[in-house]
Structure 1
Amino acid sequence: MKEKTIDYVLRATWMAVSKMYNEEAGKAGSTMATGFALLSIDPEKGTPSTSLGPKMGMEATSLSRILRTMEDKGIIVRKRNPEDGRSVLINLTNFGLEMRNFSKGVVLRFDEAVKENVSEEDLRTFIEVAHTIMELINNKKIYKPETSAK
């Protein structure tokens, strides 16, 4: 394809970012998915397991696998939610807090590098375009939902 589609640019860029994050996470024996989970867990109060999936945009089965691995590595502990005995809070261990700080540093370094190499105006435009794309998708303005024939 001579001219790249918007979809291609988005996918190729995200794949490069994902690979970069996985390489950095690998230096600490982790993965990008684990880092993302660490950054989504409240470091002080913990986070209900039921709200973690939607917060991360993940399916329950994928999230369960990540949480099980994190628990096996001593990064998190599951505790009964004192406000709702039916739910579980995901809390970071001391090792989990260290890993969270590492993940946060990786993300902040990426942000710094982009901001050092992209003008404020271009970055603002990029963010506006990304928001517009998300709005088009969320409001089903690209592909209309099928209506039932009556």
Structure 2
Amino acid sequence: MKDKTIDYCLRATWQAVMKMYNEQAAEYDVTMAVGFALLSIDPEEGTPSTALGPRMGMEATSLSRTLKTMEEKGLIERKPNPADGRGVLIHLTEFGLEKRNFSKDRVVTFNEAVRGNISEEKINNFYEVIETINDLIQNRRVFNQKETAIK
């Protein structure tokens, strides 16, 4: 993979991770997106629907579709937010908690497998590289902004 670009390696690896999680999730009639949403919802207090999108990095349309599917499957229920009369809290049902535990188990198993095969030093280097890439992107330090605006 030495001749591959960084973005190619990130994309290919993420695609492999998504495929792995989707294969696991399909056995339990859910998707990786649903599993990720289950893990993003506070199991005790619920989570404001407006906080889920940013937490999961999902656009509103995709999130709405995912939440609708989850509600139809009986994984979540929407309740008024007592702190904000206009808002809605997403709460897990008992069935949702069960699926959340399954999802959490799969994430922990994956992380244990990776950590069992890669040294702590390499894991720390990986996190450092990912943090730097995110910083470059978030602080718009990849492309010259004037150059981008002209094109």
TM-score range, shorter chain: over 0.9
Q: Counterpart of 2:86?
A: 86
Shift of 1:27: 1.1
Task: Report the aligned-residue RMSD.
Answer: 1.6
Sequence identity, in percent?
64
- 1:12 counterpart SS class: helix
Q: Counterpart of 1:97?
A: 97
Alignment partner of 1:33 is 2:33: yes
Q: Counterpart of 1:145?
A: 145
Gaps of 5+ in 1: none
Q: Counterpart of 1:60?
A: 60
Q: Distance in 1 between matches of 2:46 and 2:88?
A: 10
Q: TM-score, normalised by structure 2?
A: 0.94
2-11 or 56-65, larger mean C-alpha shift: 2-11
Gaps of 5+ in 2: none
Q: Distance in 2 between matches of 1:144 and 1:85?
A: 44
Q: Counterpart of 2:46?
A: 46
Q: Counterpart of 2:16?
A: 16
Q: TM-score, normalised by structure 1?
A: 0.95
Alignment of 1:118-133 (within 5 A): 118-133=118-133
Q: Distance in 2 between matches of 1:104 and 1:14?
A: 18
Q: CA offsets, 1:50-79, max 9 Å, x none?
A: 111011111100000000000000000000
Q: How many residues align?
A: 149
Query: Would you identify which runs of 4 or more consecutive aligned residues in structure 1 move more than 6 Å?
Result: none
Q: Distance in 2 between matches of 1:144 and 1:31?
A: 38
Alignment of 1:100-115 (within 5 A): 100-115=100-115
